């Protein structure tokens, strides 16, 4: 993942901001259109596939709602934050959104920078400043689910749930 | 080195002698609780097998009775799932319904020493019962009901020891606001409550504090067991359980002691829960449009009792809406028998059926643009209870009830003087 455009969101971004309560019973596509409408209206029209979100402390705090799915549907390529909320991390694994912790990331990036993430070296490179940060590795068994499209395909393969009807 | 309560439960449930921070524990789930939201068509899937129907409970709570066609559809899917797999613990619209965490408390589904998962962030409410209860995502719930297992990253534990006792009019919500205001978030950490002052907190007070652990962003929030807790559980659930105390040489990230007798009523300022607590006097006089008491955190019988005590014989301010939502229909009936509901209604409150309702900005008390609310519930995030421009203060049920009478933020000191 190289050359990702960076969006900076600061500390304590909660899942009510990512997936507003009034949209809980709407379709995933409608939910994805409401991302950050309270704190950053218009962002959903600016974000492009593969872009990166840089967060601060406790990214994704709050409700268990599938906010990670909304970010994935917006096209977000990966989320890197100082710390990631435990429940948001679970949903990131389950919905196949790449989300990792990276100490120092909030100060190292400014909006508009580009980011290169290596999961082999567990590093994040700032294309503007040249700075390289260490990314905290995600345990292998969880990373595998995260990278393979989440937990639904796994449950289908094991015969636990029926495949979703196509068409 | 010994283990904390959370570590001991996760070790036992994963069949390991020991777990330590940094481990990923794959555990046996004792109880999995599904909600109406679990059955949203975009998240729910056609389940082909369940691990053990007796380990599953279904509680409709987020929009109850159904406020929308979508909610009604979720309920319908949930009923069909219960029928298909013979799941007996279905808490449908009716006498046994309520907010899931409050139903779990009423029925003691969260057993000491066991693991419980539920697709709602406030599942840590079950920690009041010495249960490793954790909110997980919708997909995790599908995994838990089909495999009977769940994974958890083991975090470090912060231990709180309580001494002394809360003064009259100071509640568990104020204790929580003190912790949230003083120590902030506990991301990736477990919280363990105990100490000589713990047993002075009622089971309902412990529930409030455990529920709010989600707002500390803690992994697990868990209380030490005591005689009152064990009696409470035994009276409500026949299943065997083994309470867990921490090892004497348990390894904590930090130990903090709080003298409950020194605490005062607090209010959290709008838009976030942690690091926002101020004394009531600092915001007293701010005009409000709505006052709300309810949710999994503050819909207990204790909460309704204190609200009734504050408003008894007085009237809600003209132009202010006072909405009270009991945690379960069973709590509603108990409050009715105790006279709290009549007192609240006479004062001008609206008492709704049990539902997440206003707390999630769902129904029965949604806020409009630029409105101001003071709430005794779980969250005051921007946009949480309705329009993003609404401002939400959070406080104890006593402070909220006093504010409803005044039409502006006010303390309840005179009632408890």
Residues of chain B with pLDDT under 70: none
With H, G, I as helix, E, B as strand and everything else as coil, classify residue A133: strand
User: Cα(B402)–Cα(B265) distance, rounded to whole angstroms?
Assistant: 12
Q: What average pLDDT does range A132-151 have in this prediction? A: 95
Q: What average pLDDT does range A69-97 have in this prediction? A: 96
- The pLDDT tens digits for A142-151 are 999 999 999 9
* pLDDT given at position A21: 85
Choose, out of B148, B370, B381, the residue to mutate when testing the contact with A (most A CBs < 10 Å).
B381
Q: Name, in order, each residue with C-beta under 8 angstroms of B238's C-beta and a sequence gap of 6 or more.
A: none
How far apart, in Å, are the Cα atoms of B316 and each of A73, B144, B249, B339? 46, 46, 52, 18
Are the C-beta atoms of B34 and B146 separated by less than 8 Å? no
Strands B391-394 and B372-376: parallel
CB spacing of B185 vs A12 below 8 angstroms: yes
What's phi and psi for A66, nearest 5 deg? Answer: -75, 60
User: Cα(A69)–Cα(A54) distance, rounded to whole angstroms?
Assistant: 17
Q: Any idea which of A61-65, A155-159, B49-53 has the lowest mean pLDDT?
A: A61-65
* pLDDT given at position B245: 98
Residues forming CATH 3.30.499.10 domain(s) in chain B: 5-260, 267-416
Choose, out of B217, B364, B389, the residue to mutate when testing the contact with A (most A CBs < 10 Å).
B217
| Domain spanning B267-416: CATH 3.30.499.10 | yes
Are the C-beta atoms of A127 and A115 separated by less than 8 Å? yes
From the list A14, A87, A139, the residue facing B137 with the nearest CB is A87
Give the residue extent of every domain in chain A.
4-157
Residue ranges of A 9-28 with Cβ closer than 8 A to chain B: 12, 14, 16-17, 20-22, 24-28
- The pLDDT tens digits for B328-352 are 999 999 999 999 999 999 999 999 9
Dihedral angle over CA of B120, B124, B130, B131, nearest 10:
30
Q: Specify the CATH number of the domain A4-157.
A: 3.20.19.10
* pLDDT given at position A85: 95
Are the C-beta atoms of A63 and A93 separated by less than 8 Å? no
CB spacing of A64 vs B120 below 8 angstroms: yes
Roughly what angle, to the nearest 10 degrees, separates helices B340-347 and B329-338?
80
> Could you please report the per-residue DSSP string of A108-129?
H--TT-EEEEETTTTEEEETTT
Reply yes or no on whether the pLDDT at A38 is more than 70: yes
Closest residue of A to B139, CA-based? A94
Closest residue of B to A24, CA-based? B37
The pLDDT confidence band at residue A165, using thresholds 50, 70 and 90, is low
From the list A85, A94, A141, the residue facing B139 with the nearest CB is A94
User: Which DSSP category does A57 fall into?
Assistant: T
From the list A61, A64, A139, the residue facing B217 with the nearest CB is A61
Question: What's the complex ipTM?
Answer: 0.90
CB atoms within 10 A of CB B47: 16
Element (H, E) at B117: strand B115-118
Nearest to B35 by CA among B121, B129, B94, B111: B121
- Residues A3-34 as b or e (16 or more Cβ within 10 Å = b): ebbbbbbebbbbbbbbbbbbbbbbebeebbeb
CB spacing of A12 vs B272 below 8 angstroms: yes
* pLDDT given at position A24: 86
Reply yes or no on whether the pLDDT at A167 is more than 80: no
A139 inside 8 A of chain B by CB: yes
A160 inside 8 A of chain B by CB: yes
Choose, out of B32, B61, B119, B121, the residue to mutate when testing the contact with A (most A CBs < 10 Å).
B121
CB spacing of A17 vs B382 below 8 angstroms: yes
**Number of A:B CB contacts under 8 A?**
134
Are the C-beta atoms of B385 and B357 separated by less than 8 Å? no
Superfamily for the B5-260 domain: Aconitase, domain 3 (3.30.499.10)
């Amino acid at each position: 993942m190289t050359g990702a455009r960076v969006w900076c969101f600061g500390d304590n971004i909660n899942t009510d901001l990512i997936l507003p309560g009034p949209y809980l019973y709407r379709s995933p596509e409608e939910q994805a259109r409401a991302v950050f409408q309270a704190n950053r209206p218009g962002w959903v029209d600016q974000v492009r596939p593969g872009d990166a979100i840089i967060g601060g402390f406790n990214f994704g705090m709050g409700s268990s709602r599938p906010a990670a799915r909304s970010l994935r549907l917006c096209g977000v390529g990966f989320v890197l934050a100082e710390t990631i909320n435990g429940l948001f991390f679970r949903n990131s694994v389950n919905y196949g959104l790449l989300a990792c912790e990276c100490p120092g990331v909030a100060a190292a990036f400014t909006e508009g920078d580009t980011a290169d993430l290596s999961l082999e070296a567990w590093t994040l490179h700032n294309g503007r400043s040249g700075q390289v940060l260490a990314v905290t590795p995600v345990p292998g068994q969880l990373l595998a689910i995260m990278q393979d499209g989440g937990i639904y395909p796994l449950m289908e393969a094991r015969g636990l749930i029926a495949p979703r009807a196509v068409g | 080195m010994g283990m904390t309560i959370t570590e001991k439960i996760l070790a036992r449930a994963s069949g390991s002698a020991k777990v330590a921070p940094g481990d990923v524990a794959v555990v046996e789930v004792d109880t999995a609780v599904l909600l109406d939201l679990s059955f949203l068509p975009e998240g729910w899937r056609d389940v082909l097998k369940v691990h053990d129907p007796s380990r599953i409970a279904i509680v409709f709570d987020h929009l109850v009775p159904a406020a929308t066609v979508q909610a009604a559809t979720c309920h319908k899917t949930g009923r069909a799932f219960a029928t298909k797999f013979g799941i007996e613990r279905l808490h449908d619209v009716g006498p046994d319904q309520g907010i899931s965490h409050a139903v779990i408390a009423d029925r003691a589904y969260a057993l000491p020493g066991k693991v419980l998962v539920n697709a709602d962030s406030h599942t840590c409410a079950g920690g009041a019962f010495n249960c490793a209860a954790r909110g997980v995502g919708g997909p995790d719930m599908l995994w838990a009901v089909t495999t009977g297992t769940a994974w958890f990253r083991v975090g470090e534990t912060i231990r709180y020891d309580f001494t002394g006792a809360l003064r009259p009019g100071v509640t568990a919500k104020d204790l929580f606001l003190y912790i949230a205001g003083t120590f902030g978030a506990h991301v990736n950490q477990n919280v363990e409550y105990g100490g000589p002052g713990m047993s002075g907190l009622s089971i309902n007070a412990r529930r409030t504090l455990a529920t709010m652990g989600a707002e500390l962003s803690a992994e697990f929030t868990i209380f030490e067991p005591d005689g009152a807790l064990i009696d409470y559980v035994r009276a409500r659930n026949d299943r065997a359980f083994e309470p867990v105390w921490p090892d004497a040489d348990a390894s904590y990230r930090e130990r903090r002691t709080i003298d409950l007798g020194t605490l005062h009523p607090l209010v959290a300022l709008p838009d976030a829960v942690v690091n926002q607590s101020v004394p009531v006097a600092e915001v007293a006089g701010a005009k409000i449009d709505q006052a709300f008491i309810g949710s999994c955190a503050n819909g207990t019988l204790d909460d309704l009792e204190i609200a009734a005590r504050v408003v008894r014989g007085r009237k809600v301010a003209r132009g202010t809406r006072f909405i009270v939502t009991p945690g379960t229909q069973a709590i509603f009936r108990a409050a009715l028998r105790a006279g709290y509901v009549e007192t609240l209604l006479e004062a001008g409150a609206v008492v709704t059926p049990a539902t997440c309702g206003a707390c999630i900005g769902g129904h029965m008390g949604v806020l409009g643009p630029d409105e101001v609310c003071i709430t005794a519930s779980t969250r005051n995030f921007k946009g949480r209870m309705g329009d993003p421009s609404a401002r939400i203060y959070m406080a104890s049920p006593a402070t909220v009830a006093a504010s409803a009478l005044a039409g502006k933020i006010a303390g309840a000191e005179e009632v408890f003087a």
